[in-house]
Amino acid sequence: MNNSSQVYFIGAGPGDPDLITVRGRDLVARADLVLYAGSLVPAKVVACARPDAAVADSAGMSLDATHTLMLETARKGGLVARVHTGDPSLFGSVREQIALLERDGVSWEIVPGVTAAFAAAARAGVSFTVPETTQSLIITRLHGRTPVPESERLSSLARHGSSVAVYLSADKAGELASELRLAGSPEDTVIVIGHKVGHPEEKIVRTTLAELEQSVQAANITRQAVFLILPGESAPQIQSRLYAASFGHGFREAERPQTWPRMAVYAMTRQGLGLAGRIAAMAPSDLFATSRLAEGEVRGFERIADQVRANFPLYHAHVFVAATGIVVRSIAPLLHSKTTDPAVVVCDQNGEHVVSLLSGHLGGANDLARRIALHIGGHPVITTATDTAGKPAIDTLAQNRDCVIADPSRLAAINSDLAEGGRVTVHDPENRLRLRDDTDSNTSFELVDDPQAQVLVSWKTVTTAGLLLHPRCLCVGIGCRRGASREEIQAALAQVMEQHDLACGSLAALASVELKRDEGGLLDAAKKLGLPLEFFAASVLNETHVPNPSERVREKIGAGSVCEAASMQAALKMSPKARLIVPKTINGNVTVAICLAG
């Protein structure tokens, strides 16, 4: 924000005095000159101007006249509020005004405003963006006294199927309809007309392309209107992934649904349904088929793409008895990451070929394809390079040894070396990958003492140019006062992890005393971190040797230690070897200790 500006171009919003921004209103109230476009901006919007301020309607002025007023005020040290309708950056003609100000050495700033399209959408209760239908908004106008480039004709822009906001075309409803039809827009395309949005005479008309011209005539709309073309309004209702529990992002971990351990099996034909039933019998599954085949426990669908869209985040594996092309088109818009996408396997209806299509290694599709092929007497089709070369894949090895891959983007280079017959160097001082005694792995992996090997296995936060694997081997004991929040517990743990350079990817479990089984903050922390939570009886903890027992704690709960003893017991459940690497650390209402398993 530039506090030394002399001229402010302020977006007034669509007309309602309450829709100007707080900053815009404050500047109008401070200004020595308020210059507003009265043909579009109601006087009420600038009614907050000072009684002694000069307030002028620029509707009848030329560019030179408005510039002269602004320049005179600025040269006297005054502040100018140049108030435009909507947002100054849209059809606001500020560019030529700014050029004159800069020529004369006058500083300026633009304050954004609510444009009519957004206000009309809000009044109508519609959305420009609809999941998986349209994610773009085009703002344009039809040609008039100001020409529109040929490449920006509405008939070309509307072909994208995006939402479109058409300004400055209130008297061109017929031309608007013709351009949309040339673009191939369906007759039932929803169009919202916003007339004088934010003014007392406001009209919001919802219509369709087929009835557009009649609607405009019936409402007697000839000027000050914005047309919103909304192809997403007639699309099927699809929930955004943003707030779905299964959708994780930087501020929230994804939660696996209850159906995640199950398979979803799909069939398109009667013969395929018989095979799908055999596959579904292999493991806990839900069976889906076209509606004409659905009966009993078989769930029906009209379009397979719609069913897959709904199911994709709900199941760890999807098996299709269908053509591969249909499956590819159905899953393509849903793919996110090789580390999180579910396994996808495709079979032909005769059961001859079982294709691992997606997430072959980390998602387990390769192994699933082999198991299905064995079960139905078909042939597994595996195309991942390491498998076809008869070599181990580093991501599969990491998964089998319960290691977290710190940076999955580095997998490809390692697997490429393995597929081409190279030996990959591995620094694994604690033998977490169990390669030391595996003679069969010698042709693919070379154990080295150099931490800068191609693969480094560590439960510490380290920097390496290679692939870093974090073994899940850190067990955290938690003690806390009654009522400690999830945020307190997570903050205490994060602080300890950072102080000791411990990798969050190596966390294996949280643990506490049985008395804390109903502690909400602790339960929520474990759920948020995606970690199992172990509880141990006070008698068990009391018999655990720890370096920092407390007699006061023993008197209260019957055990001399909670966090140290619980971390030790959790680690001993994983391995007969356990070592306390972080002793009891107090952080407010929370105590933390960390034990290394193995």
Q: Read out DSSP for 340-369? A: TSPEEEEE-TTS-EEEEEE-SSTT-HHHHH
Tell me, what's the pLDDT at 440?
82
Tell me, what's the pLDDT at 413?
93
Closest CA to 229 of 132, 150, 149, 126: 126
Tell me, what's the pLDDT at 1?
41
Tokens standing for residue 40: 């579009």
Our measurement of the distance from residue 254's CA atom to the centroid of its chain's CA atoms, rounded to an integer in Å, reads: 10
Tell me, what's the pLDDT at 3?
55
Distance of alpha carbon 378 from alpha carbon 384, whole angstroms? 19
0.75 exceeded by pTM: no
φ, ψ for residue 117, nearest 5 deg: -60, -45
Residuewise pLDDT in 10s, the chain (598 residues): 445 789 999 999 999 999 999 999 999 999 999 999 999 999 999 999 999 999 999 999 999 999 999 999 999 999 999 999 999 999 988 999 999 999 999 999 999 999 999 999 999 999 999 887 889 999 999 988 888 999 999 999 999 999 999 999 999 999 999 999 999 999 999 999 999 999 999 999 999 999 999 999 999 999 999 999 999 998 766 666 666 666 665 555 667 788 999 999 999 999 999 999 999 999 999 999 999 999 999 999 999 999 999 999 999 999 999 999 999 999 999 998 888 899 999 999 999 999 999 999 999 999 999 999 999 999 999 999 999 999 999 999 999 999 999 999 999 999 999 999 999 999 999 999 999 988 888 899 999 999 999 999 999 999 999 999 999 999 999 999 999 999 999 999 999 999 999 999 999 999 999 999 999 999 999 999 999 999 999 999 999 999 999 998 999 889 999 999 999 999 999 999 999 999 999 999 999 999 999 9
Tell me, what's the pLDDT at 5?
83
**Do 351 and 319 touch, CB atoms closer than 8 A?**
no
Torsion of CA 587, 504, 244, 487, to 10 degrees: 0
Tell me, what's the pLDDT at 49?
96
Distance of alpha carbon 220 from alpha carbon 267, whole angstroms? 54
**Do 262 and 271 touch, CB atoms closer than 8 A?**
no
> DSSP letters of 147-170?
---GGG-HHHHGGG--EEEEES-T
**Do 34 and 27 touch, CB atoms closer than 8 A?**
no
Residue with tokens 């199950």: 262
In the chain the domains, ranked by start, together with CATH numbers, are 7-113 (3.40.1010.10), 117-234 (3.30.950.10), 263-383 (3.40.50.11220), 394-471 (3.40.1390), 474-597 (3.30.420.180)
